[in-house]
Structure 1
Amino acid sequence: MSVLIARIGKPHSLHGEVTVQLHTDDPVGRFVPGAEFTTEAVAGSGVPRVLTLRSARRHKEIWLLGFEEIPDRTGAESLRGTRLLAQESDEASDDDGWYEEELAGLSVVDPAGVVLGEVVGLDVGAAQDRLRIRLTDGVEALVPFVEALVPEVDIAGGRVVVDAPPGLLDLARES
């Protein structure tokens, strides 16, 4: 199974480096020169189907990647918004984490089993991740993806239990 590793942001240098939004908890293990990533990009964008990592480094808490196929800033600009995918490793499937692709589409229920909505995505943050949930009335809410608020993720059962404190889901309706 392919999993999302990162989304490419803006170019960083004249030598084709780009910023990335991480979707992996092991960037050091994933961003090894020579690693190949399958890409998902807008049709007709000219982005290669596979990118080979030339370099990876951190600069002010942001990961910068360079690819063999992208020699300059112009090429790097064309990568903006591209998703980098890799094959899920055996060790990744043994940890307690979940990928956005596994979570999207799961039903969201409260501890009593009442349907609250559906998971539509995962926002990865520096301090904590947040589940993006489309509530039954169509409003999208964010719930911190921490065990205290999301005590159960049942991929096989197709559901996530959210134990939101009073008012948390109503915050989305107020904005």
Structure 2
Amino acid sequence: MADPRDRVRAPRPASGAGSLRVGRLTKPHGLKGGIKLELFTDNPELRFVPGAVFHLQVPEDSEWFGRTITMRELRWFNEAPVGFFAEVEDRTAAESIVRAILWIDEDAVEAGEEENAWYDHQLVGLDVVRDGEVVGKVSEVQHFPAQDLLTVATPAGPVLVPFVEAIVPSVDLEAGIVTITPPDGLFESGDDA
């Protein structure tokens, strides 16, 4: 059986590669290897637990390329999450790994109970519905540090939809539907405006 670490490589695992992006390391915290985290999960208590293993998305020339890190502890300082990892022993090591994206493998995803988490390949091809009408299909999921975007293919061309609960309140994989409540003007063409 292949080593699960081989499934995730920089710059980013391909859609459907059996991984879920859960966070990003932003900057060192203190002298003992702590690193501030940007979380891409609604349930850090499920993902960032002692013993959790994270695959790293880093440039190929990084000393961390192809490696994993293991969570020792997650602490909160001034409402900001700070991770401590077994392989990151001091500030120097923390500085060398900053900006890495953290991914967990499919087995870890399936073992958890995270709501509102989907693989890109599950979303691509779903009908996008607004007020009961199909307005297009999801053609791509784009990942950015602040938020993800759904690219929706429409007859008038692609529309980028922020993948946030206020605009995308539900995803029904069984029905093949992404329900959206976009702000005025996002989907209107010149004729409709």
- Corresponding residue of 1:30: 47
Deviates more, 1:61-70 or 1:40-49: 40-49
- Partners in 2 of 1:102 and 1:169 — Cα distance? 24
Deviation of 1:131 after TM superposition, in Å, equals 5.3
- Partners in 2 of 1:143 and 1:104 — Cα distance? 11
Of 98, 107, 116 in structure 2, the residue corresponding to residue 80 of structure 1 is: 98
Of 8, 14, 22 in structure 1, the residue corresponding to residue 25 of structure 2 is: 8
SS of corresponding position for 1:88:
helix
- Partners in 2 of 1:157 and 1:124 — Cα distance? 29
Of 40, 48, 55 in structure 1, the residue corresponding to residue 57 of structure 2 is: 40
- Corresponding residue of 1:160: 178
Unaligned ranges ≥5, structure 1: 171-175
Q: 1:2 to 1:165 in 2, by over 3 A?
A: closer
Q: TM-score, normalised by structure 2?
A: 0.65
Of 58, 67, 77 in structure 1, the residue corresponding to residue 76 of structure 2 is: 58
CA RMSD of aligned residues (A): 3.2
Deviation of 1:31 after TM superposition, in Å, equals 2.4
Deviation of 1:24 after TM superposition, in Å, equals 2.2
Aligned residues: 162
Of 72, 80, 89 in structure 1, the residue corresponding to residue 110 of structure 2 is: 89
SS of corresponding position for 2:134:
coil
Q: 1:133 to 1:4 in 2, by over 3 A?
A: closer
Deviation of 1:138 after TM superposition, in Å, equals 4.7
Unaligned ranges ≥5, structure 2: 1-17, 189-193
1:131 touches 1:145 (CA, 8 Å); kept in 2? no
- Partners in 2 of 1:45 and 1:158 — Cα distance? 40
Identity across matched positions, percent: 28
Alignment partner of 1:99 is 2:115: no
